[in-house]
Structure 1
């Protein structure tokens, strides 16, 4: 597949991180200058109370950015990605098992990796196809690759969402890079004259940042022309072909 090029547009994007309220906040976050608001959650008051009660924190983060991107648009294939998923809930279940306590059927069913897309589908009464994935340190890149693949295969706009939170203390020694609480959603569409054009291409190098979340936001917010995704040798990259509109006015910024 050397030399393969695929073009698409990003109609909307939205992102959420604790304490980030505007474009200046995202620039500070990108540069590691944003203070961390421990335990803060996005406001998902727009969701039915029955759904809100079932969502854990990472699920709220994911559905918050998903809703910002999708709006009232229905029939969107949904790609959800999270390296750790509902790990906090899973640890609570494991603690219950270790103490020989009965497991909550509801908590168990909501700990599986595709529970978030299931709740999204239920609250929107939308039966569009969905995919849930995890790919270790490449999870964010894998989500984009999957979303672009679905777009090229179907020709239909695709909603791509990545969400993760700092894992529980028990697992932090094994995760490598210290990852922040972060969620991002992107509505991918076929090339559109009114939107900036992007290409997925092979890179001449497999080198990439260990903080793909930060580099993606740099790509979306700042005038960085290339996002190195890694994903083997040769690596993959997103390239901004042109910039036919102002990102600062057309991209919705997630405000907690």
Structure 2
């Protein structure tokens, strides 16, 4: 499989990065975009706020796009907090529960931006970040002019055993990419490769891919257990 696409625009929030780039959102910027209703703003966790801010930088005006959200763990720390609430014998907030599910951020996003386009939420497991690109490319080939990809993850709470698995990153990270088949931007090519790799799961690959965007290297290969892909800057 080989697919060409254009990276029209990207932006990121990555506290673990020291690089200076206009596309990296300032760490202290927690102002939620004006388009988000006040009732929704109160429901946004810090991770959700970062997703909204980063995505907003890739959205031009009032135009809406199909969106692919991809996260290995979603807001699993919020789920742990609810379990601890139950363990302590307290009542669980229905609102808190509804906002802890894997597609909660995507649902709030669709409401805030009045986006009635197709929205997909992926929990890719060992497949890493590639499924989000494959899903987005499928939308483009089906006729979408542009697709917004939002990759995000936060560190897993110490409660969950993660060793010896390479599935966690010490810092949260959010990356938004607006891609198209034609237009202005950086040409890319995504290839399936036969190389057997062990690059970790989604949170780890997300950090590696962001470093790739900021660097001058022409290509990056990522994968797990024979499911490997290479991104080429053309």
Shift of 1:119: 0.8
The answer (yes or no) to whether the contact 1:89–1:111 under 8 Å persists in 2 is yes
Q: Does 1:191 align with 2:182?
A: yes
Partner of 2:31: 43
Residue of structure 1 aligned with 2:54, choices 65, 68, 72: 65
How many angstroms apart in 1 are the aligned matches of 2:33 and 2:56?
A: 11
Match of 2:2 in 1: 5
- Tell whether 2:230 aligns with 1:237: yes
Whole-Å separation in 2 of the counterparts to 1:48 and 1:25? 27
CA contact (8 A) 2:162 2:168 kept: no
Asked if the contact 1:133/1:139 (under 8 Å) is kept, the reply is: no
Q: Is the 8 A contact 1:200 1:236 kept in 2?
A: yes
CA drift of 1:196 comes to 2.1
CA separation in 1, counterparts of 2:53 and 2:214?
19
Q: 1:224 to 1:67 in 2, by over 3 A?
A: same
Which deviations, in whole Å up to 9, do the C-alpha atoms of 1:135-165 show, x marking residues without a partner? 2243423222222222223343110001111
Aligned residue among 11, 16, 34 for 1:14: 11
Kindly tell me: are residues 206 and 156 of structure 1, through their superposed partners in 2, closer, same or farther at Cα, counting changes over 3 Å?
Answer: farther
The equivalent residue for 2:83 is 94
Q: Extract unaligned runs of 5+ from structure 1.
A: 28-36, 242-256
SS state of the match for residue 142, structure 2? helix
Q: Which residue of 2 aligns with 1:181?
A: 172
Paired residues in the alignment total: 226
Superimposed CA distance per residue, residues 27-46 of structure 1 (whole angstroms, 9 cap, x where no aligned partner)? 9xxxxxxxxx8xx6743253
Structure 1 residue 22 displacement after superposition: 5.6
Q: Which has more strand, going by share of residues? A: 2
Taking structure 1 as reference, are residues 61 and 137 closer, same or farther at Cα in structure 2, changes over 3 Å only?
farther
**Structure 1 or 2: larger helix share?**
1
- For the 8 Å contact 1:15–1:185, the answer to whether it is kept is yes
Cα distance in 1 between the residues matched to 2:143 and 2:228:
25
Q: Please provide the CA RMSD for this pair.
A: 2.6
CA offsets per residue over residues 154-186 of structure 1, 9 Å max, x none? 343110001111122212545645402111000
Which SS does the other structure have where 1:71 is aligned? Answer: coil
TM-score (norm 2): 0.85
Query: Deviation at 1:90?
Result: 0.6
SS of structure 2 residue aligned to 1:80: strand
- Contact 2:173-2:207 at 8 Å conserved across structures: no
Relative to the length of structure 1, the TM-score reads 0.78
Which stretches in structure 2 are left out of the alignment for 5+ residues?
none
